Structure 1
Amino acid sequence: MYMDLKSTTLATLLRLAVLNVCSFIQYAASQTATTPELEIPPISDNRTISIVNNCSFPVYPAVLTTNGTGPYTTGFYLPSKQSRNIWVGWDWSGRLWARTNCSFYLVNATTSAKIRDVVDNFTIPDGQKLAGNCLTGDCGSAVECQLSGLAPTTLAEFTMTGWMEQTFYDISLVDGYDLDMKITPFHDSPEKPRVNNTPICVASTTLSSPLSGTDLYQNSINESFSFNNIHRWCPRQNLLFNSQKGKQSVFPYPDDNDPTIGGGWTPCLSACAYSQSEWDCCTGKHDKAETCGPNLYSRRAKQVCGDAYSYAYDDFLSTFAVPSVKGEGFEVMFCPGGVSTNILKTLLGSGSTSGLEFLGRGLWVSVIVILGLLLSGW
């Protein structure tokens, strides 16, 4: 779901619930690379989100709360191949993303002269201030974000307790794409993932890899994409950079004439982030589903990431739901590898999985939702 402030309203949750039911029936101050241990305040009836950096480079995960009890941190440094847990309240709604290519440093508060590089800013000495920024997902000169990240950025979005006691979640490319992402909901523990409710978006040829072992088993509903499918899905004008030749970056430029790059990728601005038009952003006179449809960017994004939000009203093929229960956990992984899932479209159009079988697997919104709406006269 497109998690701006309006998406937390009851009307939006009702609409998401109905869209899910109808489609189913048819079908997140040190100079070292070590992150300090923090004392975690207790949160009643909390939900755990494990943030995993599976990338070959460090990132700065960030969290923005739009409603409810937010986590103990809104941003931190996460080295490659490491993870950290955050806890949010049962009433939490918000978004989570990774900032890339970040550089933070302390400067003199008066003269702005650089003093030294830092990784985290838990303690800033008197007379100094933090400076620096990130290439994607930037929220200003701060390790802990107070604002949403600048586009383009791949988002994980959550409403922990929504309509009919469901947790709604999604991967969103509405603000653009910068990193591959995977969201895994856990039933009781990380050893019990709800595997058929695990959306994966892999839009980078350099970060993708063939599925094998448990990954292949746990993600049986996958749509594999060839090199050419992924290589140029982003409209050229939406690319964040014109060229990356000769530059050191986690985003090499997809240049057919440079075999050493091998079809890498650069961040991709969404149509809304690029043009800011009412049509592309579904605002103004186009602020409803009837007057705002998919554009070139969203169509191509949907081709490579079938389970991800591609524009504001891409609800029924993008929103996942599981029962909201105490202790329910989630894992958000950056650079998961493998291939993109196309679970919702596959189930909607497949005769191999019936609606009842699908409900039994956990990705469901009860038919009672529709009955309740009808009885209430909605």
Structure 2
Amino acid sequence: MATTRALVFLLGVVAVVCGVDAVTITVVNRCSYTVWPGALPGGGVRLDPGRSWTLNVPSGTKAARIWPRTGCSFDGSGRGRCVTGDCRNALACSVSGTPPTTLAEYTLGTPGVGDSTDYFDLSVIDGFNVPMSFQPASNGERCSRRRGPTCAVDITAQCLPELRVAGGCDSACGRFGGDTYCCRGQYEHNCPPTKYSKFFKEKCPDAYSYAKDDQSSTFTCPAGTNYQIVMCP
């Protein structure tokens, strides 16, 4: 009996610790159309207008991402395809989405252990398909800028003709390749902005527009902060 009580107590402690060490990210679709968000970790779902999807992500998660998929069609087994953001024809993603996609990226710290800071951003380095915002849902007053990034402009509707693709606005790297546009080769560590990255930055100043755009595009909050990602804010 004593052993059973001890086990129950231990499981309770583990449950409490896991609850404290999990961050809640709520994805909300305020678009007038259905979006199929993909997430690593998290998989993916269908999100009709006005619906939300809640992810519980462990503290300490590194290099995670959430992105919108559009124009999707899946069968009952979760197989199909999307016009933008497709992840190898699966509803539940295990790989990142095919550009162009607006991208929410984050690395979570661990409260009281090591680096206790969350780092997060929006990126249009891989192009754009849906307006997004990425905001702290709690402890916002303790965040570096008291807010997160927003990219509320529909860049697809204003896309430069040479970057237009079905359902989105492609990046210069994706469209043309090359060391300058892709920040590789001689430009890997000293990559200058281009007229195309400046176009994206003008539309969404909070978002990464090219690989070396860190100073104006990285946001931080204390570890343990919960977040809300809104499609079409």
TM-score by length of 2: 0.83
Partner of 1:240: 165
- For the residues of structure 2 that align with 1:99 and 1:92, how far apart are their CA atoms? 23
1:180 aligns with 2:150: no
**Alpha-carbon distance, 1:164 to partner:** 4.1
User: Of residues 86, 97, 101 in structure 1, which corresponds to 2:71?
Assistant: 101
Q: Which ranges of structure 1 fall in alignment gaps of 5 or more residues?
A: 1-41, 65-69, 106-117, 122-129, 206-229, 242-265, 337-378
1:147 aligns with 2:46: no
SS class of match (2:169): coil
Partner of 1:53: 29
User: Of residues 138, 146, 149 in structure 2, which corresponds to 1:199?
Assistant: 149
**Alpha-carbon distance, 1:284 to partner:** 2.1
- Change over 3 Å in CA distance of 1:56–1:193 after alignment to 2: farther
Partner of 2:104: 156
Structure 1 residue runs of 4 or more that deviate by more than 3 Å after TM superposition: 192-196
| 1:66-117 superposed Cα distances (whole Å, 9 cap, x missing partner) | xxxx4xx311111111101101111112110011010112xxxxxxxxxxxx
Partner of 2:56: 87
Say what the alpha-carbon RMSD is for the aligned residues: 2.4
- Report if aligned partners of 1:184, 1:193 keep a CA contact under 8 Å in 2: no
- For the residues of structure 2 that align with 1:53 and 1:74, how far apart are their CA atoms? 17
User: Of residues 39, 53, 62 in structure 2, which corresponds to 1:63?
Assistant: 39
Amino acid at match of 2:35: V
Q: State the identity as a percent.
A: 35
Partner of 1:10: none
SS class of match (2:153): coil
Q: Which ranges of structure 2 fall in alignment gaps of 5 or more residues?
A: 1-14
- For the residues of structure 1 that align with 2:142 and 2:133, how far apart are their CA atoms? 12
1:301 aligns with 2:200: yes
How many equivalent residue pairs? 211
Partner of 1:333: 230
| 1:22-52 superposed Cα distances (whole Å, 9 cap, x missing partner) | xxxxxxxxxxxxxxxxxxxx78211110010
- For the residues of structure 2 that align with 1:58 and 1:314, how far apart are their CA atoms? 31
- Report if aligned partners of 2:121, 2:148 keep a CA contact under 8 Å in 1: no
Partner of 1:349: none
- Report if aligned partners of 1:159, 1:169 keep a CA contact under 8 Å in 2: yes
- For the residues of structure 2 that align with 1:181 and 1:321, how far apart are their CA atoms? 18
SS class of match (2:175): helix
**Highest Rg: 1 or 2?**
1
Amino acid at match of 2:164: L
- Change over 3 Å in CA distance of 1:322–1:193 after alignment to 2: closer
Amino acid at match of 1:98: P
TM-score by length of 1: 0.52
- For the residues of structure 2 that align with 1:333 and 1:133, how far apart are their CA atoms? 23
- For the residues of structure 1 that align with 2:157 and 2:230, how far apart are their CA atoms? 22
| 1:114-156 superposed Cα distances (whole Å, 9 cap, x missing partner) | xxxx4x73xxxxxxxx3x2101001122111111111100000
**Alpha-carbon distance, 1:276 to partner:** 2.0
- For the residues of structure 2 that align with 1:84 and 1:145, how far apart are their CA atoms? 15
**Alpha-carbon distance, 1:187 to partner:** 2.5
- Report if aligned partners of 2:122, 2:206 keep a CA contact under 8 Å in 1: yes
Partner of 2:170: 269
